[in-house]
Structure 1
């Protein structure tokens, strides 16, 4: 859990790992960066003699970051109750898809989102399941099952025994298994491409054919951008809703992009990203759509360009 180097360069090297941990715990790039900065601030507030006593600054920073995230998760329920409409995790771009086409420049300011490794543990479907866990379950599961930290170290974060932390991770694992069919669906790329074509053509019948009859669409506008405040249920209703959205936004461009590591769609208008959509697919049909429209959650997507080709590869 970290290095044994106490110098400034050594702890700076931990930043990327800490951001990866904090984002998976919080589902928010902004909150993850704030948590990591808070952890670093606490490190530098330590007397130099105390810092010298810490053999592994990385382990210390991870423990402190985990505790900060645990506190934030504990208060998240109240924050979500005040949130306008549904709350969804922030979607992450794969900048390698569009930097080559003249998007965000590599010489620009560092973005915490760029340091997050895109894998199954940041997919929207996965993070939505994490949201159903208790804060302690989520911390125990993410640190152990995703980052392979031992329960003895996780116990320091949670203030519980290693045995109790092991039980928390097992409980979280059961929650994940219950939703596993939705998390690990394959064949998304082709289906997402066909959804894009039907949506662009405003073909309700084609959309209905691509959507599971029991599909659910959840939109996150945060009270800032227009979005359904409650999930839209049923393939036919979702299809009509999607076409109505397109009718209200002439000139909308739909781009195939990796969204948090899996195939998704980005809707932009006059060069500005308006919506980032994630999909879950089962048996060749879309079962879930998560559409993020809150502009505060779309900041990492600034500069996305139409000319870039998606690099989905085997992840589709």
Structure 2
């Protein structure tokens, strides 16, 4: 039977990136260069095929080794005024981006939409999988946008069972460090996740009747910057 990947807790993925940035910073001595090296490391991760990623037992260790190699290669590059020589060529792929959901035809009333979103929030806060399942359409889908900078799920998730497991897995953290609040997102009520008071995820939901049919989960730090610096 094929292994089903329901992702990792968002807090763990954020800690993973912080760990990689700290490692790169120690080697390169510049936070900006460290961030760039880590971004390159994640591009290498996403350049792998699904089968290659599945063969990596401990992704965090693979990423640490990769970022270490990137830093050492950059240190070996000639500085300004030196012979440029051959440069380290790294395969790049576009960031994994999920566009903001378009405005769909009115599937339900605003009051019903808000009620469903608030119910989803309660299910997530209490980690009540049965309740969350009851709020999802049988063919519900979830899309995760890490922008190539957070190691979230690459492919969309389909079916209420996998959507419920993936979302609850992503938000699996003690309540004193992570909060989940209803907030206006793309003109409709959505959910905003804060970890240590910083916005680390924004969820947009499309509701039809009394069920969520699609969910967009944005964890791309570039897209969340405005949430942490001012009005989104």
TM-score (norm 1): 0.40
Runs of 4+ in 1 over 4 A off after TM superposition: none
- Equivalent residue in structure 2 for 1:198, among 118, 123, 136: 123
Equivalents in 2 of 1:231, 1:88: separation in Å? 13
Q: Look up the match of 2:82.
A: none
Q: Look up the match of 2:83.
A: none
Equivalents in 2 of 1:294, 1:223: separation in Å? 8
The answer to whether the Cα contact below 8 Å between 1:273 and 1:298 also exists between their aligned partners in 2 is yes
Q: Look up the match of 1:299.
A: 225
1:184 CA displacement: 2.0
The answer to whether the Cα contact below 8 Å between 1:266 and 1:276 also exists between their aligned partners in 2 is yes
Instruction: Identify the structure with the greater strand proportion.
Output: 2
Equivalents in 1 of 2:230, 2:113: separation in Å? 21
Instruction: Identify the structure with the greater helix proportion.
Output: 1
- Distance verdict in 2 for CA 1:280–1:243, change over 3 Å: same
Q: Look up the match of 2:98.
A: 87
Q: Look up the match of 2:139.
A: 214
Q: Look up the match of 1:184.
A: 106
What are the ranges of 5 or more consecutive residues in structure 2 without an aligned counterpart?
A: 1-91
Deviations 1:57-82 (A, max 9, x none): xxxxxxxxxxxxxxxxxxxxxxxx93
The answer to whether the Cα contact below 8 Å between 1:84 and 1:229 also exists between their aligned partners in 2 is no
Equivalents in 2 of 1:206, 1:259: separation in Å? 23
1:88 CA displacement: 2.0
Alignment of 1:51-90 (within 5 A): 82-89=93-100
- Distance verdict in 2 for CA 1:304–1:254, change over 3 Å: farther
1:304 CA displacement: 7.5
1:226 CA displacement: 3.0
1:228 CA displacement: 1.1
Q: What do you get for the CA RMSD once the two structures are aligned?
A: 2.1
Where 1:218 maps in the other structure, the secondary structure is: strand
Q: Look up the match of 1:231.
A: 156
Deviations 1:63-121 (A, max 9, x none): xxxxxxxxxxxxxxxxxx932334323xxxxxxxxxxxxxxxxxxxxxxxxxxxxxxxx
The number of aligned residues is 136
Where 1:82 maps in the other structure, the secondary structure is: coil
What are the ranges of 5 or more consecutive residues in structure 1 without an aligned counterpart?
A: 1-80, 90-123, 127-181, 306-316
Q: Look up the match of 1:245.
A: 170
1:185 CA displacement: 2.0
TM-score (norm 2): 0.54
